[in-house]
Amino acid sequence: MKQNYEATSFDEHELIEKVALHAINQAVQEYSREIYETTQASSATEVVVLAEDLDQYALEVAEAFPINRRFAGFIDYKRVRWLSTPFGLFPQSLFVDAKASTERNRETLQQSQRPMDAVSINNTTGAARRLVAGFPPDNDIQY
């Protein structure tokens, strides 16, 4: 049984990521149906609040075995948990933001919410712009 990402092969690491994303996807699908059936948002502000609630509730359901550790930051959902996989239990820090701001029909990724660099391409000119990450992709979890 492993509890260290460094002891996993590339294929095992990919499967660990798939397990995590599958659990989150199932939880979001379940709660999005419930939100849709029980609420009717009448304004853009209410839609944003509902999106944040959806993320919060769905991710709490998807949370497996929490680790008592918190992170500060401008991200809506921040948790540290044990992720159960066929290879063992692995510590995982999970950061999810419920929304991106929309201005002039575009989505803005905030620097504080990016764990890795991104590239933005202007639809009109085709010019590429590099967006630098705002926090490190790997977090040292002491447990």
Instruction: Tell me the pLDDT tens digit for each residue of 77-113.
Output: 777 788 888 878 888 777 776 654 555 555 566 666 6
Looking at the structure, do residues 79 and 13 belong to the same domain, yes or no? yes
How many structural domains comprise the chain?
2
C-alpha to C-alpha distance for 100 and 69, rounded to whole angstroms: 26
Looking at the structure, do residues 106 and 127 belong to the same domain, yes or no? yes
Looking at the structure, do residues 76 and 104 belong to the same domain, yes or no? no
Q: Does the model's pTM come out above 0.75?
A: no
Looking at the structure, do residues 116 and 91 belong to the same domain, yes or no? no
Looking at the structure, do residues 10 and 39 belong to the same domain, yes or no? yes
Does the residue 143 lie in any domain?
A: no
Instruction: Write out the two tokens for 48.
Output: 């944003």
CB atoms within 10 A of CB 20: 18
Looking at the structure, do residues 67 and 95 belong to the same domain, yes or no? yes
Print the domain residue range for 126. Answer: 100-135
Beta carbons within 8 Å of 141's beta carbon, 6+ residues apart: 67, 69, 80, 91, 93
Looking at the structure, do residues 57 and 9 belong to the same domain, yes or no? yes
Looking at the structure, do residues 114 and 91 belong to the same domain, yes or no? no
With a pLDDT cut of 70, the percent of the chain lying above it is 61
